[in-house]
Amino acid sequence: MHRSGILPRVYETDDMSRSGGTSTFDFDAFDQGYLWNSYMVQPLVDFRSRLSNQEREALDATRLLTFVIRGFVLTMPVPAHISPARSSRTGPPSSLTLISRLSCLRAGTRFNARGIDDNGNVANFVESETVFWSPSGLCFSYVQIRGSIPLFWEQSAGLLPNQQKVSITRSPQATQSAFDKHFEDLEMKYGPVHVVNLLSKEKSSEVELAQRYHNHINRASINNQDGNDSAAKEHALLRETWYDFHAETRATGYEAASGIRNYIQNSADAFAYCLTEVDDQKQDFEELEDVQYRNFVMILQQQGVFRTNCLDCLDRTNLMQTIISHMGIEEFLGPRSEKPSSEFLTRHGMLWADNGDVSPARMFESMLKLTSTTRLYQKYMRAPEH
């Protein structure tokens, strides 16, 4: 079973504790791809493993052993009267959270870290998880990822916007192995992958990257394990949608970006989402002051992931991920015959706009454009068409 994101990992750790597993944390259980100080804490973790339980508790109390991630996290309260998935419109608020974690495996500044390395790691790789929690004990989670185009390419830094030259530095034959490693790792962790490529179909530099990307997807190892017949393509583990963001939104504005739904809805239906509920029905979360999370049971597990990219993985990508997260929430509420209210979607859009504002890969001019792009789209989100 694929356990991507934070919520399933918490569930898995607590499940081990309920089953009589160790009460102490296991460093290997943390995803070291997101631990920016793993090289510093590993000796302490090794030292800790040799201590008695009493000595471990004393060490933990010092909080010397701290794990560092880079990214974004913010929780917004959702008042009961606008909260979905609730039987009562009174009582304590629900919460809506967005967590984004930047990978440390191919770090670097905007123009110095592009593309992929020989180990299959890409620049600007971020895992984002939308989490909705209700006081009744219901918890929804939806994971998606972004990352640089997984080819060997560079971009020169220039003084003028849109004048930075893109250069592909390796041949297709020399690239395919690292490309395959990247997507094999993603499939192992998340399940099937649907690529949402937002590059231009008009700018020559972006067209060249996108065409190479498409060719490598067609030759990807995870899609060619059972041959190239139509049945294999029907159940491909790696799919692609090339959606020219600027061309689609040029005439009518950013609200037109929602047209991506027509191309990815089938994958959204198949990928589903993560859902946990309280196992012990006697435990009323609305009446408890000290909420315990060890009585959750996994109801549904997300079975695939969208991987979105533009050139920088900034403004276009963040807006598209906002839409995909919205789709995930609709997948969750649909079977309950509910729709998210405009007030709820406003909070959701604000979380994603703030997430874009603090994107680790941004530069000043991109920040201004990103803030404008995502926040303008919120106006559309407040009055969605279904």
DSSP readout, 239-281?
EEEE--HHHHHTTT-GGGGGGGHHHHHHHHHHH--EEEEES-T
Beta bridge partners, 239, equal 194
* b (16+ CB within 10 A) / e for 135-158: bbbbbbbbbbbbbbbbbbbebeee
Alpha-carbon distance of 150 to 146, in angstroms, equals 11
Predicted confidence (pLDDT) at residue 371 exceeds the cutoff of 60: no
Q: Is there a contact between 103 and 32 (Cβ–Cβ < 8 Å)?
A: no
Predicted confidence (pLDDT) at residue 26 exceeds the cutoff of 90: no
Beta bridge partners, 248, equal none
* Residues with Cβ within 8 Å of residue 7, at least 6 apart in sequence: 129, 131, 139, 141, 274, 276
Residue 8, pLDDT score? 58
Beta bridge partners, 167, equal 154
Alpha-carbon distance of 259 to 145, in angstroms, equals 20
Residue 129, pLDDT score? 97
Mean residue pLDDT of the chain comes to: 83
CA distance to 82, 109, 123, 214, 245, per residue, from 199 (Å): 37, 21, 16, 12, 7
Output the CA torsion 144→146→150→155 (10° steps).
Answer: 170
Alpha-carbon distance of 49 to 172, in angstroms, equals 46
Per-residue pLDDT reduced to its tens digit, 175-186: 999 999 999 999
Which of 48-62, 143-157, 179-193, 273-287 bottoms out in mean pLDDT, i.e. has the lowest? 273-287
Predicted confidence (pLDDT) at residue 17 exceeds the cutoff of 60: no
Residue 100, pLDDT score? 96
Output the CA torsion 40→45→47→52 (10° steps).
Answer: 150
Alpha-carbon distance of 308 to 324, in angstroms, equals 10
Most confident of 79-88, 93-102, 350-359: 93-102
Q: Which residue reads 């009174």 in tokens?
A: 90
Predicted confidence (pLDDT) at residue 9 exceeds the cutoff of 90: no
Q: What is the pTM of this model?
A: 0.86
- Which sign, positive or negative, has the C-alpha torsion 196, 201, 205, 208? positive
